[in-house]
Amino acid sequence: MRIGEVAAEAGVSVRALRYYEEQGLLRSERNAGGQRLYTESAVERVRLIRQLFAAGLPSRSVREVLPCVDEGAAPPGLVDHLEVERERISERIADLLAARDRLDVVIANTRNPPPECEHMW
């Protein structure tokens, strides 16, 4: 696949793909004309990279995780680091859920104010 095809399918910019390559997160081959060519699996890899970035992992951590995904195993020290990251993500999810719940209350009260709040409008 060419770079534009991967970018379109994965929902990222061509620039993002080049960055992922610079960071050692994604690989491509070059054709005779020097254009980047990716395997079909590159789209799923890019989606995983985006998920890990969205979870707040820095590129260094993502670079360490990707070989583990490929090989199905991780060195012990990395597992400890991943458990810390997982806990951080879980805490972030809990915070986001709490914020969503509060927004739900505000939305519900705005649409259907309880009697004690009627005087406020």
**Model confidence pLDDT, tens digit, residues 3-24:** 999 999 999 999 999 999 999 9
Distance from C-alpha of 12 to C-alpha of 4, rounded to nearest angstrom: 9
Query: C-alpha 87: how far from its chain's center?
Result: 16
Distance from C-alpha of 2 to C-alpha of 15, rounded to nearest angstrom: 13
Reported pTM: 0.76
pLDDT of 98 reads: 98
Query: C-alpha 50: how far from its chain's center?
Result: 3
Q: Which two tokens stand for residue 9?
A: 């399918």
pLDDT of 72 reads: 83
What is the percent of the chain with per-residue pLDDT over 70, rounded to a whole number? 96
pLDDT of 71 reads: 85
- pLDDT reading at 101 higher than 90: yes
In this prediction, residues 69-81 reach a mean pLDDT of 86
The H or E element spanning position 94 is: helix 76-111
